[in-house]
Amino acid sequence: MSRVQRIGVFVCHCGSNIAATVDVAKVAEMALLEPGVVHAEEYQYMCSEAGQAKIAEAVKDKGLTGIVVCSCSPRMHETTFRNAAERAGLNPFMVEIANIREHCSWIHKDKTEATKKAVILARAAIAKVNLNAPLKEGESRVTKRALVIGGGIAGIQTALDIAEAGYPVDIVEKTPSIGGRMSQLDKTFPTLDCSACILTPKMVEASAHENIRIHTYSEVEQVSGFVGDFTVDIRKKARSVNMEKCTGCGVCSEKCPAKRNASEFNRGLNNRSAIYTPFAQAIPNVPVIDRENCIKFKTGKCGICAKVCQAGAVDYEQKDEIITEKYGAIVAATGFDTIKLDDFDEYAYSQSKDVITSLELERVMNAAGPTGGHLERLSDGKEPKNIVFIQCVGSRDVTCRGKGYCSKICCMYTAKHAMLIRDKYPDVNVAVFYIDVRTPGKNFDEFYRRAAEEYGVNYVKGQVGKVAPQPDGSLLVQGVDLLDNKQIRTKADMVVLATAIEPEAGVRKIATMLTASIDNNNFLTEAHPKLRPVESPTAGVFLSGVCQGPKDIPETVAQAGAAAVKAIGLLAKDKLLTNPCTAKADELLCNGCSACENVCPYGAITYESREVNDHGIREVRRIAAVNNALCQGCGACTVTCPSGAMDLQGFSNRQIIAEVDAICR
Amino acid sequence: MSIEAKHKFKPKIVAFCCNWCSYAGADLAGSSRLGYPADVKIIRVPCSCRVNPMFILRAFEKGADGVILCGCHPGDCHYSTGNYYARRRMTLLFSMLDFLGVENGRTRVEWVSAAEGVKFSTTMNEFVEKVASLGENVRLGDLRCRN
């Protein structure tokens, strides 16, 4: 560490991104005054091939031992410059980045101020690199199996793609069947093909695939480990039905006397029995007992399902089982739900059965739904004559009750609903209240125009202020037509709310287990919004479907495939390079107190008896030893260590203090 | 921006940001062009739990007027538990610093996720304004460090 460094400083213009607000020549000039700096230059694009060649050239000509690149965020190009240094024959960890773009030029307007700050940031990076030591990456193994959390279309597609590439993959789905939201849909835009018809073949394919194991009615309980080597505990909830013995005949559900439980699959619009399969095409076709509502579990007196089951599959004694599996990659495909409408009283959703959400309408229009596919009012079973659709219920709503984002799919599915209703019931009047109609996508705008022009759907630009149930059972819709600038009061028999979508409720818990980032709306964050859209910032964790952001089925399937490819790319590797910025104990300072062992989240620290030579005194001492394959380099131990023996390579105490000093100088 | 123009006194502020959430949040503030005063200089650390109280004392000794530590939201730490340690350590340290005369307004812990560019920017604006209103830090500054 004490050897004298020969540092080269490279200041990037980033076109005008940096150079417009930072005097780059001045930064280079000031850098030359810093200790250890023997070379400083500026260039238009340091990340370009020519820029990297300049680095290689300077390393050779000036005999550089360390490099500081003043450029964009290290999250952007640190790897680029480390690789460039390595090609030039330097240890890649002798490179530090001064972030003078995201943290300087882009946020400051005053050139003098920004230049001053850039000089200081460069100075801090130089001070740090003066204390850098060459580091070597270790290796870790890759478990060649993937886990997909969520069994909707996103999870199924990801699992199929991974399985087709030859790697085993497990799907964990919390409900009793795979299929997800798509299985609840009636038709799909813009082709109007039946959702189940295109989904169920995929479900069957997944269940029959030799490389896919499906754990339904199961949840991820705990995740530990890291990229290539995750250990996951999966809770297989007690189904109370033996999966091997059950033939799926369905007699148990038929005979079950506890029939008045809201059907989750039909969004609570009708009832199911306590022992049930969520829908006819469920995979696996094995029922579960809903223990909260089962008479046998509540009172101990029933047991009819066990009596009628010819296969003897019903097992009241079954317990939750926790299985532990190892995976190399994890794909989150946790999906979405519609938001709760408790705060949207003006639409009378809780007051009237005839105000329904669009997802509920999907069930109403579906032949397997609560009305057998017949469009009718849920209050009195009459056919509606006037239907009003209200767009953006909770979407694009910046008040605290709604979501600031656009839910993306609502404009299209509303056009679909309107079109299907007008097609099947031509005498029904359909009006759609909208803020904007947003239909980007292949054949999407054409689809919307067909709804408006060919099918005569009445699109009204404006929002609805109130839906008031009337004594005669109809609904008075009060809104505004912005184009005609007039108030509208119209009677409807049915109101359909295009409710905003939000990530599935359990996603936060899963994100915490995966240590994956999550945003304010509970969508999982991607590693880079443009260039790494299907990877989580946490290595080895990938994102598939709506858990990352609102999207329709084609986009979900595309992203699912992309996530699969990323996972396959990881599983195809035999070994991974590990982060060399790990903790290291100074054997002369360590007194073996175990403080570091207690705070290490990875169990990477153990103790060993080692003979040390303390200034001529040879003795055996108890000393902390860090397992580099397990250490992830958080640094918790370094601060806990009372004797200052523990330090983090790459972010050492001296390095950080040098940065502090350089900034405060 | 208005703060930059308003205050003559330019405080020296060190911001420790964890690599996974807050540093990325600062990057997002940057790419979204959400300004905050140039007085804030960011040091990247792997996790908020890497920040030794000594670093903060050092900063004040060397003439910093304010120090802010940003990490992932509780429960969202990339290393599972790091920010909990940071939170406890900083609670103790800040109360000790207050006792020594380094007002609580000069120290702050804030949780900023990778998606919270806006929060990063507003936090920094607020913090700079607060520190600027407190004036120069004279209590812990090492006189030998003055120039």
Q: Whole-prediction pTM value?
A: 0.88
Say whether B79 and A632 touch across the interface (CB within 8 A).
yes
Question: Matching CATH topology for A338-502 and A583-648?
Answer: no
Taking residues A274-285, report their average pLDDT.
Answer: 95
B2 belongs to a structural domain: no
CA distance B110 to B74: 10
pLDDT at A528: 84
How many angstroms separate the CA of residue A621 from the nearest CA in chain B? 26
Question: How many distinct structural domains can be found in chain B?
Answer: 1
pLDDT at A517: 85
Which residues of B, range 2-61, sit inside 8 Å of A by Cβ? 4, 12, 14, 20-21, 23-24, 26-27, 29-31, 33-36, 38, 41-47, 49-55, 58-59
* Choice among A1-15, A58-72, A84-98, A294-308 with the minimum mean pLDDT: A1-15
* Choice among A328-332, A385-389, A489-493, A624-628 with the minimum mean pLDDT: A624-628
pLDDT at A518: 87
More confident residue, B3 or A468: A468
Q: Would you call the peptide bond into A284 cis, given omega within 30 degrees of 0 as the criterion?
A: yes
Mean pLDDT score of chain A, rounded to an integer?
94
pLDDT at A3: 65
Residue B87 reports pLDDT greater than 80: yes
pLDDT at B2: 53
Q: Would you call the peptide bond into A554 cis, given omega within 30 degrees of 0 as the criterion?
A: no
Taking residues A129-154, report their average pLDDT.
Answer: 95
Q: Per-residue pLDDT tens for A533-551?
A: 999 988 999 999 999 999 9
Residue A496 reports pLDDT greater than 90: yes
Q: Count Cβ atoms below 10 Å from residue A486 Cβ, excluding itself.
A: 9
Query: Domain with B71 in it: what CATH number?
Result: 3.40.50.960
Q: Per-residue pLDDT tens for A265-274?
A: 999 999 999 9
Residue B147 reports pLDDT greater than 60: no
Helix A410-424 vs helix A358-365: crossing angle, to nearest 10: 30
pLDDT at A375: 95
Given pLDDT bands bounded at 50, 70 and 90, which one contains residue A630?
confident
For residue A144, give the amino acid letter.
K
pLDDT at A519: 87
CATH of domain A583-648: 3.30.70.3270
Domain locations along chain A: 7-137, 146-237+320-335+504-571, 251-308, 338-502, 583-648
pLDDT at B57: 95
Which residues of B, range 71-110, sit inside 8 Å of A by Cβ? 72, 75-82, 85, 89
Residue B5 reports pLDDT greater than 80: no
Mean pLDDT score of chain B, rounded to an integer?
90
Taking residues A508-526, report their average pLDDT.
Answer: 90
A518 touches chain B (CB under 8 A): yes
B105 belongs to a structural domain: yes
Q: What percent of chain B has pLDDT over 70?
A: 92
Query: Nearest to residue A147, comparing CAs of A536, A542, A562, A572?
Result: A542
CA distance A595 to B93: 19
The range of the structural domain enclosing residue B85 comes to: 12-134
Residue A279's contacts (CB-CB under 8 Å, 6 or more residues apart) are A177, A179, A183, A265, A368
Residue B3 reports pLDDT greater than 60: no
B142 belongs to a structural domain: no
- Which CATH class name applies to A338-502? alpha beta
Which pair of structure tokens corresponds to residue A11?
A: 């200041």
CATH of domain A7-137: 3.40.50
B95 belongs to a structural domain: yes
Q: Per-residue pLDDT tens for A370-396?
A: 999 999 999 999 999 999 999 999 999
Given pLDDT bands bounded at 50, 70 and 90, which one contains residue A531?
confident
Which pair of structure tokens corresponds to residue A83?
A: 């690789």
B129 belongs to a structural domain: yes
CA distance B5 to B24: 27
Rounded alpha-carbon distances, angstroms, from residue A658 to A260, A375, A385: 69, 72, 76
Which residues of A, range 214-243, sit inside 8 Å of B by Cβ? none
ipTM for the predicted complex = 0.94
Q: Per-residue pLDDT tens for A559-585?
A: 999 999 999 999 999 999 988 999 999
Residue B91's contacts (CB-CB under 8 Å, 6 or more residues apart) are none
Does the domain at residues A146-237+320-335+504-571 carry the CATH identifier 3.40.50.720? no
pLDDT at A48: 95
pLDDT at B141: 73
